[in-house]
Amino acid sequence: MGTWEWHLLDQEMLWSLPQEKLFGLTPGSFDGRPETFFQLVHEGDRDFLDAAIATAAQPQQQFAAEFRVILPDQSIRWLNQRGQVLRDSQGQVIRMVGVTFDITAQHTVQALLMKQMGRDRLIAKLSQDINRTEKVDQALPEVFGVVREHLGLDRLILIDLRENAGKVIAEAQIPAIESILDWKMRHPWSVKAAYLDKFKLGHPVSISNVHQQPLSESELGFLTFFDVSADLSLPLLEGDQLWALLSAQSRQPRDWLPEEIRLLETVGMLVSTAIQRDRLHDYLTRANRELKRFAYLDGLTQVANRRRFEHFLNQEWRRLMREQSSMAVIMVDIDHFKAYNDLYGHQAGDDCLRRVAGILRSAIQRPADIVARYGGEEFVLVLPNTGIKGAETIAERIRVLLRQSQIPHKGSPVGKLLTVSLGIAAMYPHPLKAPDDLVKIADQALYQAKKNGRDRIVVFPFQKPSPIPPGSVPS
């Protein structure tokens, strides 16, 4: 995220270093001139940006705009700017301040989704059989088998040309001939310039008799070994890129009929579109997984953030209420962290937070436990199916690991090394209580630990389970 200010009276702009980076500039290179800012914006978006600025100048309006910038490597980055408009006592706009976000990923995902929706509408009827499976490659053997039998082919294959040599990734053939599946090959028609030009234009190449073609001895030997006398190859394009060939083959010379070509073109379109759909689905799955991971992670320490903590706490509270099992919470506060920041600087303070977060992660050994940053220098551990003694064991492990890390803290009245204070509480989830009740008493224990001199563990008295009224446990 970048930050910026625009002083309109003297037409000077102030940009943070992250702001310069978002625009593809080297740190400190922005000259502060609005003209430079507009030159960095994609020319197709400048009028829109002008309109957004004009709108912001109107009474009771704020500034918001989305636009593209062209980076030094000629790639496009989408940016979102939002800002406040500051006025003098006469209502004249004198300054704008705001932030800038990189929204390129969102635009990419939106474009891919729109493209996928168009493909789905186009091939809805044709792709009925393939869509019954999660992955198109699972359906290809059966689909190819049906097409091969219908056309009386000896072999039908799909050659992936994304690898330099080409690779057969799907095949249906009669039992009397050798399988070519998984072979890496230089298909004769794909490497000859005359055929390649046709493929790139979307035109099929039909060969009635390979023995009448000007092939090398090695090429002809390859085709003879696999009993190929006639070949009909159709290009599969992704945009303007040739990525595969759908190849129908016969052991005997054969004149390919127009209706056979049309049918295979339909099959090729079906296969190509379905495979592109699977690629998009895989990409979106990874993108959504990554977005969800970022939504639940603290950016600095890479442990769970407050949002993830609250979601997990409530989820486990309901589960443990059903199981009538206990839950423990450990609140952790770095002792005299402000003094650490003042003495060593904020960069060192950030490094310290990351190291402490790593120590806390090392202290828990079960996948069901989580560490979260609660706020500032405060962390929290949620330990399902754990009582006071189990939580105390983990708290002691934290202190041991921290002591072994030997992080200096000369500004601490407690000692020369970094220390933490820990508050522990545990209870059995109950319909008449809330997860926040557990957090509050753990926080009270943490407060007592700091009040008693810090660098210690304080345990809140264990909350014994109360009988749960019938029918009050959530499902």
Q: What is the model's pLDDT at position 124? A: 47
The pLDDT confidence band at residue 420, using thresholds 50, 70 and 90, is: very high
| 280, two tokens | 């998009």
C-alpha span between 230 and 251 (Å, rounded): 7
DSSP string, 364-380: --STT-EEEEEETTEEE
Among 17-21, 98-102, 272-276, 303-307, where is mean pLDDT lowest?
A: 272-276
203: left (phi over 0), alpha (psi -120 to 50) or beta: beta
Q: What is the model's pLDDT at position 60? A: 80
The pLDDT confidence band at residue 299, using thresholds 50, 70 and 90, is: confident
Q: Are 227 and 154 in contact (CB under 8 A)?
A: yes
**Chain-wide mean pLDDT for the chain?**
87
Average pLDDT, integer, range 225-243: 89
Average pLDDT, integer, range 428-457: 94
Amino acid present at 91: G
Q: What is the model's pLDDT at position 49? A: 92
pTM above 0.75, yes or no: no
The answer on pLDDT for 218 being more than 50 is yes
Average pLDDT, integer, range 469-475: 53
User: Is the fold of 2-102 the same as that of 115-284?
Assistant: yes
Q: What is the pLDDT of residues 114-130, one digit of tens each?
A: 645 534 443 444 456 66
C-alpha span between 401 and 404 (Å, rounded): 5
Q: What is the model's pLDDT at position 136? A: 74
Q: How does 213-225 read in b/e, with b if 16+ C-beta sit within 10 Å?
A: eebeeebbebbee
Q: What is the pLDDT of residues 147-175, one digit of tens each?
A: 888 889 999 999 888 765 678 888 999 99
Q: What is the model's pLDDT at position 462? A: 56
The pLDDT confidence band at residue 238, using thresholds 50, 70 and 90, is: confident
3-state secondary structure of 124: coil
- Residues of the chain above pLDDT 70, percent: 90
Of these ranges, 50-54, 203-207, 255-259, 404-408, the one predicted with the greatest mean pLDDT is 404-408
Amino acid present at 164: N
Strands (E) in 16-92, as ranges, are: 63-70, 76-87
**Sequence-ordered alpha helix ranges (H) in 296-305:** none
Q: Are 474 and 354 in contact (CB under 8 A)?
A: no
The answer on pLDDT for 62 being more than 60 is yes
- The CATH number of 306-459 is 3.30.70.270
| 150, two tokens | 């219908």
Element (H, E) at 296: none
Q: For domain 2-102, say whether CATH 3.30.450.20 is its number.
A: yes
Fold classification of 115-284 (topology level): Beta-Lactamase (3.30.450)
Average pLDDT, integer, range 224-240: 89
Q: What is the pLDDT of residues 1-51, one digit of tens each?
A: 999 999 988 899 999 999 999 999 999 999 999 999 999 999 999 999 999
The answer on pLDDT for 81 being more than 70 is yes
Q: Which are the contacts of 257, defined by CB distance < 8 A and separation ≥ 6?
A: none
Q: What is the model's pLDDT at position 435? A: 95
The answer on pLDDT for 228 being more than 80 is yes
Going from N- to C-terminal start, the domains of the chain cover 2-102, 115-284, 306-459
Q: What is the model's pLDDT at position 326? A: 95
For the chain, how many residues are written?
Answer: 475
Element (H, E) at 289: helix 258-295
